[in-house]
Amino acid sequence: MRIDPTLKQRAGQMRANPTPAEQKLWFALRANRFENQQFTRQTIIAPHIVDFASKAARLIIETDGDTHSAQDRYDARRTGFLESLGYHVIRFGNPDVMGNIEGVLGMIAQALHETPSPQPSPHGGRES
């Protein structure tokens, strides 16, 4: 599958110019530092660009600034689409990331542990 060059260019620009909240959260998530999970930032999951993703854990993390308050319906449709692909989407406001990074990381850890493995259990059911 070919990625739209415009989408790819936009993701690159977003990586090069992160918001302060994205920068702070990325510092905690990058290089398998957090829960030994590989996260990527400004990841293309066509036709969208998500802030952070762990494809192995099927987890997407979005940081929302003030502009997202006016985009509730768009965000809901977007989240529904991403969930239809098997991802779990969690959202944090920029003030939460900037003022309570430990709480945000705790919620991400919880989501990682609650997100079922994409690999089926060899015993035929979900593993605990």
CB 14 within 8 A of CB 49: yes
- Calculate what percentage of the chain has a pLDDT beyond 70: 84
Instruction: Assess contact for 87 and 58: CB atoms under 8 A.
Output: yes
Cα→Cα distances 11→17, 43, 46, Å: 10, 7, 11
CATH of 5-114, one of 3.90.1640.30, 3.40.190.10, 3.20.20.60, 3.40.960.10: 3.40.960.10
Give the model confidence (pLDDT) of 23-63 as tens digits.
999 999 998 889 999 999 999 998 999 999 999 999 999 99
Listed in sequence order, the residues at least 6 apart from 98 whose beta carbon sits closer than 8 Å to its beta carbon are 20, 21, 24
Average pLDDT over residues 82-110: 96
Per the DSSP assignment, residues forming a β-bridge with 91 are: 62
Torsion sign, CA atoms 12, 16, 22, 25? positive
Task: Enumerate the domain spans of the chain.
Answer: 5-114
Assign 123 a pLDDT band (cuts: 50, 70, 90).
very low
